[in-house]
């Protein structure tokens, strides 16, 4: 069943509108979409940031992770962000930094954003952990940095990478 975008009530229409806005990088209080029948905003600027803490499992039993790199990527267009994210998923699994065990990482590394991420849907989160898959655990930080840089440059990203 196809969904269309709308606003002014709870349901799949406003849900689709919220999802579309997040895909194209609009950051706002998405709950407004369900509460108001007409939403007009001219002050919104699309943001296509993808922030990542690269993690390696340290102890699977106790869910401990080693923080390897902090990566900040800024893209001009939404499709560049999504293509880069798809390529990075080869290295591991993305986990938004929204739950109790990872929110400290978000507060530590990504506090300088000029917009709120509070209402982002899980799959469109700006701040993420990238938990490396087993074949990539032994890669050096230099090699991981090189891979991430190549992906960033392929999609014209502004790029900042710091080793932890």
Positive or negative, the Cα torsion across 17, 18, 19, 23?
Answer: positive
For residues 73 and 23, state if they share a domain. Answer: no
For residues 85 and 123, state if they share a domain. Answer: yes
pLDDT in tens, the chain (164 residues): 346 666 566 767 777 888 888 888 888 887 887 787 888 888 888 899 999 999 998 766 556 788 999 999 999 999 999 999 999 999 999 999 987 667 788 889 998 888 888 888 888 999 999 999 999 999 999 999 999 999 999 999 999 999 99
Q: How many domains does the structure of the chain reveal?
A: 2
| Token output for 139 | 């890669």
For residues 140 and 118, state if they share a domain. Answer: yes
Q: Are 101 and 63 in contact (CB under 8 A)?
A: yes
Q: Which domain holds residue 58?
A: 49-163
* Rounded Cα distance, 90 and 113, in Å: 27
Predicted structure pTM score: 0.86
């Amino acid at each position: 069943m196809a969904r269309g975008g709308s606003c002014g009530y709870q349901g799949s229409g406003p849900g689709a509108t919220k999802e579309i806005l997040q895909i194209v990088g609009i950051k706002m209080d998405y709950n407004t979409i369900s509460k108001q029948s007409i939403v007009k905003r001219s002050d919104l600027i699309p943001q296509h940031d993808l922030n990542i803490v690269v993690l390696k499992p340290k102890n699977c039993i106790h869910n401990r992770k080693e923080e390897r790199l902090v990566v900040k990527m800024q893209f001009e267009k939404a499709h560049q962000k999504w293509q880069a994210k798809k390529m990075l998923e080869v290295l591991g699994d993305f986990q938004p930094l929204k739950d109790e065990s990872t929110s400290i990482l978000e507060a530590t590394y990504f506090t300088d954003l000029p917009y709120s991420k509070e209402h982002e849907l899980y799959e469109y989160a700006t701040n993420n952990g990238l938990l490396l898959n087993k074949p990539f655990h032994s890669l050096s930080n230099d090699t991981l940095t090189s891979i991430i840089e190549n992906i960033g440059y392929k999609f014209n990203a502004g790029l900042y990478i710091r080793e932890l």
